[in-house]
Chains A and B, each alone.
Chain A
Amino acid sequence: AQSVTQLGSHVSVSEGALVLLRCNYSSSVPPYLFWYVQYPNQGLQLLLKYTSAATLVKGINGFEAEFKKSETSFHLTKPSAHMSDAAEYFCAVSSFYGKLTFGQGTILTVHP
């Protein structure tokens, strides 16, 4: 069985500040991990993915995430927030055939 827990349903940062969105996973097999972003009235877009290669994964729009097996974490970070980063972010874990289990999502608000 797999599960994902996103800590914090809402995160608010100032423009230019560090963004940190937390994700912890549970998986009985080596996981594949993903971060997706959802803008209003749109579907989910892939930000980045971890597939057992490098533990530090770089994605689009300046985001990156680090896989830490000892902590079962896959936190998403961005050094400097931009207004356009405001959206809902979902962490997801995949089984061997690609079925995704999503976390509850974290809404990121960026203040000027």
Chain B
Amino acid sequence: DAGVIQSPRHEVTEMGQEVTLRCKPISGHNSLFWYRQTMMRGLELLIYFNNNVPIDDSGMPEDRFSAKMPNASFSTLKIQPSEPRDSAVYFCASSLDRGQLGVESPLHFGNGTRLTVT
């Protein structure tokens, strides 16, 4: 099992540039989550997909952030334009949601993308 794969591991960019983060979930998983981790705010859920459909994007901070999941094996998180306050570690996680009320579904996390915006 390859686990959740994120790329790149590190990204350094200048303010105003577009940044695209990529995620390949575990094969067979139908739920995908993007989290952001900072010292100040801890782990924040940005967006949640189920069966490739965005279900909850209430955590997306601004219109500068967008996420897509064109198929079950790929998702992107895009920031355009980027700002220094976007510097953080961005995690992608996937899980198998069996769709039944009350069924737990542990998340499997990727190793994250450390984004630095200068």
Contacts and interface: CB of A to CB of B under 8 A. Distances in A.
Interface string A95-110: 0111111111100000
Interface string B84-99: 0000000101010100
A41 B109 CA distance: 12
A56 interface: no
Contacts of B105: 94, 98
B91 A43 contact: yes
Interface stretch (B14-22, B42-50, B65-73): B42-50
A84 interface: no
Contacts of B55: 97
Contact of A99 (B56, B106, B112): B56
A50 to B, nearest CB: 8
Interface residues of A, number: 25
B84 to A, nearest CB: 21
Nearest to A6: B42
A102 B101 CA distance: 21
Contacts of A90: 43
B104 A43 contact: no
B106 A41 contact: no
B42 A105 contact: yes
Contacts of B103: 98
Interface in A71-112: 90, 94, 96-105
A36 B107 CA distance: 10
A62 B77 CA distance: 36
Contacts of A105: 42-43
A93 to B, nearest CB: 11
